[in-house]
Amino acid sequence: MEQAAEQAAHTPFSQLDRSQFLEGDRPAIADVEALVAMGARVTGTPIAEQSSRYLEEAFQQAGYVTEVQTFTYSKFTDRGSTLTINGSTLSGRALNGSNPGRLTARLVVVPNVGRREDFAQVDVRGAIAIVQRGEIRFLEKARNAAAAGALGLIIVNTDDNNFQGTLGSGVSIPVLSLGGEDGRALLSNSAASPVTLNVNAVEEMVTGRNVIAYMEGVTQPDVLLGAHYDSVAGSPGANDNASGTAVLLNLARQMADTPSSRQVWFVAFDGEEDGLRGSRTFVREAQPQFLQQLRAMLNLDMVGVNAGLQASGTSELTRLATTVNPSISIFGEAGGSDHASFAAVDVPVLFLTRGMEPNYHSPNDRQVNAQLLSETAQITLDVLNRLLTPNA
């Protein structure tokens, strides 16, 4: 065993059998299952902290030194918002930035999506208005409702799930999202009897935890490989983003006995779902020289569902990705994930994803395709190979 380990430690990265990265002692799917079993990994919750400990221990068991980078911020938290109608209570989700409150009033269906002219067609004064999702911003819907005299607003989703949305500032009324057949049924008929809207939400300080792993003594990597491990409330986040986190762990384990492990830092980011909080903190607290000397930041997000792998980022790196694997499709500039924090300070970035899927940010995000995880690991490995051994 010692002889085999010594041989692996001196094997050039480019000559490693790629199957080693796909058939390790613990396949990536096992990490997805472990993270999903914990529940929704919402930043600042005990489950998120439990998840960070799991990741920290996994990196340590693979031979890495770990650091936990903590950060605090004010977070909008829904503690159980509902709509009660005819004795039945429906679970909804408060939109981020909503004014909290509990009120009972008549329910009025507003035509279409809640534009100003839509509200002009009905009388919502002193009522709870209900509109469809889509076409205009949530903030515009809420402001139009308040301007028309509504005391509260319900936004009905186009599919069966409640959604997590952000209003922004300047909203004076409670706003709730509602999905499923119940929400669509309410759009068909205004309730004859009053309904009770309860937006139970607070602003509170929470602590996020980035888990950073590297080989002892390595203070300046060539590449930073990252994935966020947090999920939204109500979602176990198998694809978003236990999938990327599992590939991150898988590659860290398999690279541990190679010289290239000393060229990469692995970072599991927290707080991505709250505005890239973890990656923004990492970039803000990093020394300028550390960032300037990075050849690349590779970000893995939502890589366990959908057949086609997509890439976005710095043009040189997207070209490299398609050279490595021509099946990768390139899409335009994409923020919304942790690579954006690095791109903002001119670090070359590559974002690998399989795009949106029906269970995004929903309670049904529970399963991923093990083969797609393996395929993502293999492609990421090939990209790393080209980055770390360009003349191989």
Q: What is residue 146's predicted lDDT score, i.e. its pLDDT?
A: 96
Q: Is the omega angle on the peptide bond into residue 241 within 30 degrees of 0, that is, cis?
A: yes
- CATH 3.50.30.30 domain position(s) in the chain: 80-199
Cα–Cα distance, 125 to 127 (Å, whole number)? 5
Q: State the amino acid at position 98 in one-letter form.
A: S
For the ranges 6-20, 96-110, 185-199, the one whose mean pLDDT is highest? 96-110
Cα separation, 153 vs 104, in Å, equals 12
Range(s) within the chain of domains with CATH label 3.40.630.10: 2-75+205-388
Average pLDDT over residues 8-15: 38
Task: Note the pLDDT of residue 163.
Answer: 65
* pLDDT, tens digit, 9 for 90 and up, residues 264-292: 999 999 999 999 999 999 999 999 999 99
Q: β-strands 296-300, 349-353: how paired?
A: parallel
**CB 58 within 8 Å of CB 249:** yes
Q: 80-199: what CATH class?
A: alpha beta
Query: For residue 31, which amino acid is it?
Result: D
Helix (H) or strand (E) segment spanning residue 210: strand 201-214
- For 295-316, what is each residue's pLDDT tens digit? 999 999 999 999 899 999 999 9
Say whether pLDDT at 4 is over 80. no
Mean residue pLDDT across the chain: 89
Residue carrying the six token digits 């710095």: 314
Whether pTM > 0.85 for this model: the answer is no
> What is the fold, at CATH topology level, of the domain defined by 2-75+205-388?
Aminopeptidase (3.40.630)
Q: Is it the case that residue 392 has pLDDT exceeding 50?
A: yes
Residues 6+ apart with CB under 8 A from 11: 258
Q: Residue 105: what pLDDT? A: 95
Report pLDDT for 3. 36
Q: Read off the pLDDT band of 88 (50, 70, 90).
A: confident
Residue 234's pLDDT is 85
pLDDT tens profile 172-210: 999 999 887 777 778 776 656 799 999 999 989 999 999
CB burial of 222-258 (b: ≥16 within 10 Å; e: otherwise) equals: bbbbbbbbbbbbbbbbbbbbbbbbbbbbbbbbbbbbb
Q: What is the phi-psi region of residue 263: left when phi exceeds 0, alpha when psi lies from -120 to 50, beta otherwise?
A: alpha
Tell me, what's the pLDDT at 173? 96
